[in-house]
Structure 1
Amino acid sequence: MPKIKTKKPVSQEFIAWAILLFLSVIWGLSFLFIKKIVVEFTPIEVGAARVFLAGVFLLPWAYRGLKNIPREKLTWVGLSGLLGNFIPAFVYAKVGSQLNSSLAGTLNSTTPIFVMIIGALFFAASIKRFQVIGILLGFAGSLLLVLSGNDGKLNFANPYAILAMAGTMMYGFNVNIISKYLKNVKPLYLTSVAFLIVGLMAFCVLPFTDFFSKLIDPANRKLVVYMFCLAGINTSLALVVFNYLLQKTTPVFASSVTYLIPIVAVIAGLFDGELVSVWHYAGMGITLIGVYLINRK
């Protein structure tokens, strides 16, 4: 009898890399969406709406999440939502109103550096010798990016680039919190409950802005579509997938999505007519070499 060929099961490693690639595209494009939206909406409106709408998208799973997540873990879920979603949403909306999307996306590549440093300082993670070199290189490249302006010249007073790195530092705390305290919480429950908490906070901000009047203005129809994509796909869906990846791999591997985010952000920026200078490429290259060393086994 002829042998029946059976399909080989898809390896966990392949799935992990596929998810990493998916996230890099989704998050790489989010910086371009933000740049488009802040033309009409203020950074506060964008940040609050992004978090609130993401919470609405995830609301059907929040009730079941509240029933299944142990009460003692809810504080960590709320802290994860605050540091991983709520505050960075406002930070990157402000950054997106001042910096090219390619530069903002590239600065996001510092996340694994902060994951490693914060893990060592506060979560008893170990750092190897070559990872120390990676951290130093990463900061050197990040410094070059911080000094790189939108006009292709070095700018020694670029507070918005520093603000972007403050956002990645919060991501570093969030990744370590999830890895240590929320490892066994289902990603969908974790994300939906976190956004239930911070989504209510964001909703309290919106009535003090002109968001709702701008939302129903026919002239903003395309921007509203961008806003819903940013909240529904680039935020809620992407974070569910990211939390799954984080629980199935390691904090450093999951945060390595920032390897590819800058590439997507730069390509998107080039198509949108942004100037990418030699300083941007140099800073990105040095930073990514540092991130590679941090992730090296």
Structure 2
Amino acid sequence: MIRQGSAGVSASVLAQFVLLAVTWGASFLFIKIGLEGLSPTQVVLARLVFGAAALLAITLFTRQALPREAIVWGHLTVVAILLCVAPFLLFAWAEQHISSGLASIYNATTPLMTMLVALAALPAERPTPARLTGLVAGFGGVLVVLAPWRGLGDSGVLAQAYCLVATACYGLAFVYLRRFISPRGLSAVPLATVQVSIGAVLMMLAAPFIATQPMHLTARVTLSMLALGVLGTGMAYVWNTAVVAGWGATNASTVTYLTPLIGVALGVVLLDERVSWNQPVGAVIVVLGIVISQNRLLPTVRSRELV
């Protein structure tokens, strides 16, 4: 009985891990399709509004209480800007000039950016040889993806730089969360609901000034925005929380290794995007840098050393 129950839980977590990887990997595809009929600001507005609606529904259904302290809402406003509004806008703008697959590759640098910010901002984060080696390798991979030997004068290079600024925003947001929110021990889903909802409100307030371009809403564009908001910005938080609870934060973070693979594959298959040799090679180096920085190489050797 216990084994069956454990197997059932493990299968459920695995299913949610796969859904999470596919959804986050596909998010860049949804952005690209959304840009066929919407401006970048309209894509972000739709994403946050649909995401907030999904998370509010989940929070009400599960009867979880939202945080009440004003200081928490203040901190989550900062997080909403760094984790939602700013990077979403940067990625949406960038995908006007680069492929969805390339954007997904740059998104994989988020753990490296987070580590870099943590080393600078958190005294407890020590620059161990593994972390430094991983950072150097990871950003070496970024250079391979960027391909500076092809020249740095077109809008595609600027778009790639915007992607890196976006992942730097993610890094700042995660460290800010760790510093000011995590010690409070609040539930993940209500926190996600508040931060995405604040982001949606900020975008709605700004919309009359920055999202007034004509829209061309086709079924393809509308469904992509619904998927991006409800799944990629809503349900993904729930799946991620379940995977962390079932497998632990370290194992759950391996979803980062899969999202660029899925993003590139979907771009090639569904949008007929071209992939240069340097992009997958650079992506592999980036992932290798993450693996090194997290001390995941040669686990058998480390286990023997501890015996």
Q: TM-score, normalised by structure 2?
A: 0.82
CA contact (8 A) 1:179 1:246 kept: no
The corresponding residue for 2:159 is 160
In structure 2, how many angstroms separate the alpha carbons of the residues matched to 1:204 and 1:290? 40
Check 1:94–1:253 CA distance in 2 against 1; reply closer, same or farther (3 A cut).
farther
Paired letter, 2:46: A
Q: What RMSD in Å do the two structures reach over aligned CA positions?
A: 2.8
In structure 1, how many angstroms separate the alpha carbons of the residues matched to 2:120 and 2:251? 19
Q: Secondary structure at the match of 2:109?
A: helix
**Structure 1, unpaired ranges of 5+:** none
In structure 1, how many angstroms separate the alpha carbons of the residues matched to 2:245 and 2:75? 15
Cα shift at 1:71: 3.3
Cα shift at 1:66: 6.7
The corresponding residue for 2:81 is 82
Paired letter, 2:100: S
Cα shift at 1:242: 3.3
In structure 1, how many angstroms separate the alpha carbons of the residues matched to 2:10 and 2:133? 27
Q: How does 1:1-297 map to 2 (within 5 A)?
A: 6-7=3-4, 9=6, 19-60=16-57, 67-124=66-123, 125-147=125-147, 154-157=150-153, 158-183=157-182, 184-208=185-209, 209-210=211-212, 214=215, 220-242=218-240, 249-250=248-249, 255-271=253-269, 272-297=271-296
In structure 2, how many angstroms separate the alpha carbons of the residues matched to 1:62 and 1:202? 21
In structure 1, how many angstroms separate the alpha carbons of the residues matched to 2:78 and 2:272? 38
In structure 1, how many angstroms separate the alpha carbons of the residues matched to 2:189 and 2:141? 35
Q: Secondary structure at the match of 1:127?
A: coil
Check 1:278–1:7 CA distance in 2 against 1; reply closer, same or farther (3 A cut).
same
CA contact (8 A) 2:25 2:263 kept: yes
In structure 2, how many angstroms separate the alpha carbons of the residues matched to 1:171 and 1:247? 22
Identity of aligned residues (%): 22
Check 1:155–1:233 CA distance in 2 against 1; reply closer, same or farther (3 A cut).
farther
Paired letter, 1:267: A
1:206-248 CA-to-partner distances (Å, cap 9, x unmatched) read 334346x63xx6x622211111111111111113433565688
1:169-220 CA-to-partner distances (Å, cap 9, x unmatched) read 1111222233343332111110111122111111123334346x63xx6x62
**Structure 2, unpaired ranges of 5+:** 297-307
CA contact (8 A) 1:65 1:192 kept: no
Paired letter, 2:219: R
Check 1:78–1:102 CA distance in 2 against 1; reply closer, same or farther (3 A cut).
same
CA contact (8 A) 2:138 2:289 kept: yes
| Number of aligned residues | 285
In structure 1, how many angstroms separate the alpha carbons of the residues matched to 2:99 and 2:107? 13
In structure 2, how many angstroms separate the alpha carbons of the residues matched to 1:73 and 1:15? 32
1:147-181 CA-to-partner distances (Å, cap 9, x unmatched) read 37xxxx83423111011011111111222233343
Q: TM-score, normalised by structure 1?
A: 0.84
